[in-house]
Amino acid sequence: MSNISYNQFTLGIEEEYMVIDPVTRELKSHEQKIVTEGQKVIKDKVKAEMHQAVVEVGTDICANVDEAYKDVAQLRNTIAGIAGDLGYHIGAAGTHPFSHWESQLITDHVRYSELVNELQEAARSNLIFGLHVHVGMESREMANHIANSTRYFLPHIYALSVNSPFWEGRQTGYKSFRTRVFDKFPRTGIPETFDTIEDYDNYIKLLVKTNCIDNAKKIWWDLRVHPFFNTVEFRICDVPMTVSDTIAIAALFQGVCAKIYKLRTQNLNFIQYSRSLINENKWRASRYGLDGRLIDFGKEEEVNTRVLINELLDFIDDVVDPLGSRHAVNYVSKIMEHGTGADRQLAVYEQSKNLVSVVDYIHSQFLADT
């Protein structure tokens, strides 16, 4: 064990935030003012997104979860401060509870006009907010191996992040409706496995050559090997409501990667399941969050989702101390105790019967633990 270098598993975190009108609580186009002001302070760590009511931030490359926590907390504080000065509120949830996408403006940028031109209403209606976690690898070959094996765990970790029960003023019955919206895009969802990194690169080349895509960033799967860097990027999760939620989820992704790597160094691997089977679990996680059952494909039976998450925690237990992430991983039991973002939104709605109260709650949680 001592010969494994755990400091290769660096973290990079991207979060997408909603810009809220403090009076109507609708989503609000900020005409990129938040981004312009933000870039004066945090440079390219803040970016515009396709819809003008979205602000995207990204951390530096972080050596461990503590650095990631500080970075995300600082980004949230900075963006919330700038937004406040400009007269906006900020929140983090996978969808806005009642704003309609038809009334939202698209950012004036050639990349976005091309996207809207190609994908039409699927692009215009894609008013959703996600979390992307990048985990560093020693090589792209290893990244491909780890991506193949970690696919199995995507629904388990996604179930902890669900944070979009409402869409356009309706209670959808899903804990994460965000993925139902995003599934209208091509090249989304759980990817297939690739035997080698060359197979993956050849797949990309073929799509570019045949004008399906003009660059590899238009692969929008739930996880992907980065086209240029030695990282695996996990893209399945709703943006979590609080920093602690985000860091716990990032720590799980990092832990799963480190564990698969450790198995590989011992000539072992985790069983790889087909996309169609993993999709069954993804659908269940999206619909029920922590309160449903996922399929344990080894046993070929349904198991309570919380039980499987506890099994996942046991699976990565031997790598979290070398990664220095035990405290972040321990927070997962807090999420299971006080509920996901979706559970908390639904609880506020049950009490108030009012979606404005839900938006206020989302806003109130944005800096709750920074």
59-81 per-position pLDDT tens digit: 999 999 999 999 999 999 999 99
In 195-316, which ranges are continuous DSSP H helix?
Answer: 197-209, 243-265, 275-288, 305-315
* Residue 270 within a domain: yes
Can you give the pLDDT at residue 112? Answer: 79
Residue of 78, 97, 89, 70 lying closest to 38 (CA atoms): 78
Q: Are 335 and 237 in contact (CB under 8 A)?
A: no
Q: Report how far apart, in Å, the C-alpha atoms of 171 and of each of 198, 213, 301, 355 are.
A: 44, 35, 30, 10
* Residue 320 within a domain: yes
Residue 305: is its pLDDT beyond 50?
yes
Can you give the pLDDT at residue 113? Answer: 84
Q: What's the pLDDT band for 107 if we cut at 50, 70, 90?
A: confident
Can you give the pLDDT at residue 125? Answer: 80
Can you give the pLDDT at residue 228? Answer: 87
Residue 15: other Cβ atoms inside 10 A: 23
In 151-233, which ranges are continuous DSSP H helix?
Answer: 154-161, 178-182, 197-209
pLDDT digits (tens, 9 = 90+) for 220-231: 999 999 988 999
The domain total for the chain is: 1
Rounded mean pLDDT of the chain?
95
The secondary structure element, H or E, covering residue 57 is strand 54-58
Q: What's the pLDDT band for 320 if we cut at 50, 70, 90?
A: very high
Residue 367: is its pLDDT beyond 60?
yes
* Residue 70 within a domain: yes
Distance of CA 313 to the CA centre of its chain: 19
* Residue 1 within a domain: no
- Main-chain dihedrals φ then ψ at residue 240, nearest 5 degrees: -75, 160
Which CATH number fits the domain that encloses residue 71?
A: 3.30.590.20
* Residue 299 within a domain: yes
Overall average pLDDT of the 192-217 stretch: 96
**If you compute the radius of gyration of the chain from its CA atoms, what whole number of angstroms results?**
20
* Between residues 101 and 224, the one the model is more confident about: 224
What sign for the dihedral angle of Cα 35, 234, 13, 79? positive
Q: Per DSSP, what are the bridge partners of residue 344? A: none
Overall average pLDDT of the 284-299 stretch: 97
* Residue 370 within a domain: no
* Residue 236 within a domain: yes
Residue 115: is its pLDDT beyond 90?
no
Q: What's the pLDDT band for 359 if we cut at 50, 70, 90?
A: very high
Burial grade of 230 (CB within 10 A; 0-12, 13-18, 19 or more):
middle
Q: Which two tokens stand for residue 55?
A: 């602000």
Q: Are 160 and 267 in contact (CB under 8 A)?
A: no
Can you give the pLDDT at residue 154? Answer: 98
Q: Which residues contact 9 (CB under 8 A, 6 or more apart)?
A: 135, 136, 137, 254, 257, 258, 261, 323
Share of the chain above pLDDT 90, in %: 89
- Round to whole Å and give the CA distance between 276 and 196: 21
* Residue 109 within a domain: yes
Can you give the pLDDT at residue 1? Answer: 44
Residue 328: is its pLDDT beyond 80?
yes
Can you give the pLDDT at residue 182? Answer: 92
- For 325, the 3-state DSSP assignment is coil
Look up the domain containing 206 and give its range. 6-365
- pTM exceeds cut of 0.75: yes
